[in-house]
Amino acid sequence: MAPSAPRTRAAAALRMKQISLDNQSRTIRRLRVQIATERRGLATIKKEHESTQVALEASQKTISGLTEIGLNMSKNIERMKAKKQLARESHVECHQKFQARIQAAEDSLQAQHLIIEALVEEKDSLLQTIQGLKEANGAPAPFDDEWEEEPEEDTEEEGLRKSL
């Protein structure tokens, strides 16, 4: 017995939704990898900032010690003050740059979290739609959230994309 046109269309629609879910799953995995990379980068930036701050504090202690030793030499005092001011300005500038980079990374992470949440919600919606289509077509068992993806051949998926 030949399948009827509505079942064929429903099967095609179901397959398209499954392909869409697979694509979204890959996108979610890719975004999660990006988030992990951003977090590692953020940790590196924070460590660099801390080491710079420690170095700056050590530099400021050295400047203070040299200033105390050379109090009777006004020329050295003026030079040390200038160095100290430059170090402070450098520290402020460095601190502002690191804060901007940290904020940008946090904003990026937040945006990626929002995207992932939207994709997960869309995935749930598509799963419900697929379930409804399966039930309408008399499918034996409902979906649950812990289904395993079957490995697909790239050539089959590319062939479907090209035919569409």
Annotate 143-158 with b (16+ C-beta within 10 A) or e (fewer).
eeeeeeeeeeeeeeee
Long-range contacts, 97-106 (Cβ 8 Å, 24+): 98/45, 98/46, 98/48, 98/49, 98/52, 101/45, 102/42, 102/45, 102/46, 105/38, 105/41, 105/42, 105/45, 106/42
pLDDT tens for each residue of 57-71: 888 888 787 777 766
User: pTM of whole model > 0.75?
Assistant: no
Q: Is residue 145 part of a domain?
A: no
Q: Is residue 74 part of a domain?
A: yes
pLDDT tens for each residue of 88-99: 998 899 889 989
What is the domain count for the chain? Answer: 1
Q: Is residue 118 part of a domain?
A: no
Q: Is residue 119 part of a domain?
A: no
pLDDT, residue 91, reads 87
> 137: helix, coil or strand?
coil
pLDDT, residue 137, reads 86
pLDDT, residue 110, reads 94
For the chain, first and last CA: distance in Å? 27
pLDDT, residue 1, reads 45
Q: Is residue 138 part of a domain?
A: no
**What domain range includes position 53?**
12-101
Q: Residues in the chain with pLDDT < 70?
A: 1-5, 70-72, 76, 139-164
The C-alpha angle with vertex 28 and arms to 25 and 33, in degrees rounded to 5, equals: 130
Q: Is residue 158 part of a domain?
A: no
Q: Is residue 43 part of a domain?
A: yes
Query: What is Dmax (Cα atoms) for the chain?
Result: 107
